[in-house]
Amino acid sequence: MPELDLLSTLFVYVIPIIFAITFHEVAHGWVASQFGDQTAKSLGRLTLNPIKHIDPVGTIVVPAVMYFASGFIFGWAKPVPVNWRNLGHPRRDMALVALAGPAANFLMLLFWAILAKVILLLGSEPNYLTQLIFSMCGIGIIINIVLMILNLFPLLPLDGGRVLTAMLPRNLAITFSRLEPYGLIILVLLLVSGILWEILMPAIGVLKTLTYQLIQIP
């Protein structure tokens, strides 16, 4: 990856992040609409316009502060609203709606990997623009892997927590759901302490290696 100035670095990071969170949230809303809940659609959230999904604090302020403080980016978008009462099979459908977000990130990491491979196959004389795009592809791969694995962690309000809630017996699901108001605090504490990265990094590393091997990116 070439050395980038501040403006180029922001460009290389911001575009993959915006794509990742936008497709993630739209996927939730689109799958919910297929199962009967049109809440997201009625609110105009089934759009690829990132402005509809940006949370001023979670998408802009927190990632910027964390990047300049630690070099790591963490944030969130406005959650797509889903009314489980409108779903045909609420528990099953909520699990599938939750899984749609990580699935969208998986497709996005394939997009960035294939784009990187195309750049390599073209084999033209590298210039600053192609190096910039190739760097963006690498960031896109990593960001989508991290978002996918992180969101599958079984903690509410993450997608993995939604899936676990759907799989648990009803009485346990109700008990587990009571943790949701504290979920973001727990998540931040796990991230800051490094405990969560100890859990997630093996899976992130394996998926990154597999992606690079399958597409044969050096």
Which residue in 3, 25, 125, 198 is the catalytic one? 25
Structure tokens of 166? 């759907």
E-strand ranges in 8-131 read: none
> Rounded to 10 degrees, what is the CA torsion of 49, 84, 145, 183?
110
Contact 168, 200 (CB under 8 A): no
Q: How many C-beta atoms lie closer than 10 Å to residue 211's C-beta?
A: 20
- In whole angstroms, give the CA distance from residue 150 to residue 94: 18
Q: Is 25 a catalytic residue?
A: yes
Angstrom distance (rounded) from CA 93 to CA 90:
5
What the block records as the tokens of 90 is: 């609420």
Catalytic positions: 25
